[in-house]
Structures are given as C-alpha cells and as structure tokens.
Amino acid sequence: MKYHELQATANKDRKRVGRGIAAGGGKTAGRGTKGQGSRTGKKLNAMFMGGQRSLVQAIPKARGFKSLRTPAQVVYMDHLNDFKGKTADNASLFEAGYVATPYHTVKVIGRGELTAKVTLRVQGASKSVQEAIKKAGGTFEKVPTPIKPSSKQKKDKKEDK
C-alpha cells in the first residue's frame, strides 16, 4: 500500500469528552484538575489575568483627537527667488522639487528674503509672505487644490488618439 492509496478522510469527527473512562476523554474531560478553568459555566474573557489588574485596564485609553487631514506641504519664501518673473504654482513647485506631489495643499511660509517678482498661485501663504510678494511687485492668488486626474480618464485619452 502506498501513501496516496490510503482511504483516510481529511475531516475527523470532534472528540466527545466527558463520556466515561472507556471513551478516552472521561473524568476531567481534558480540563485538568481543579481551578477556575475546570469549572462549568465560567468562561474567561481574553483579557482576564487571573484576578490581577489586566493589562488593558493598566494602560490608559487613547484620548484626544487625531486629525485625518493631511498637513500642507511647506515651501519657504526664499525658494520663490528661483521663479523670477514666472508663475509659481503646484505643478512648477513640484517640477522644481520643492513639494512631493502637486495634488496636495501647498503653503508658503516666511524664511529668508524675497527679491524676485513672482506670481504665486497656491492654496495658502502666511501674511508676511503675502506682504513680501506685494513689496517685491508680485501677486498672490489663492487657488483650490488640484485634483489628480483619474487613471480611467488617461485610458480614454489614449484610446482617442
């Protein structure tokens, strides 16, 4: 007889305990002797630690507030000098390597000096940056966050060509 010729079934019947010594699972029926686990009717929850304070009770509950909003990408004012006479928007800042993605909120904050005349078209800028842009002869325009084009639209455009 070979191993693959055995007539064994994969599903065994469950063991019926507490049916006498001859049945193989008698007397204590696999519960050991004495103690809380051997008694009937007492089901212990997963957090129970033998009567001492459980770990769940010992650790404080996570309080407070966790914001799901993604924070704005920060660009510093002195970086805008690279866009002399040009428009600085999400796409151009991304191409220059100042932001990780053009499809998230961008905020320009003050650091250094702005000497170039720049047209800034992003989602936010601090008051000091807005004043510095006006002083340099540029303009600031608050625009909504660009929406990432869906991959479905890209496929449609490829099929049209």
Does 154 have pLDDT greater than 80? no
CATH of domain 73-142: 3.100.10.10
Distance between CA atoms of 27 and 156, rounded to whole angstroms? 73
Where do the structural domains in the chain lie, given as residue ranges? 73-142
pLDDT in tens, 95-112: 999 999 999 999 999 998
Over residues 125-137, the pLDDT tens digits come to 999 999 999 999 9
pLDDT per residue as tens digits for the range 18-35: 898 888 888 888 888 888
Sign of CA dihedral 120, 126, 127, 132: negative
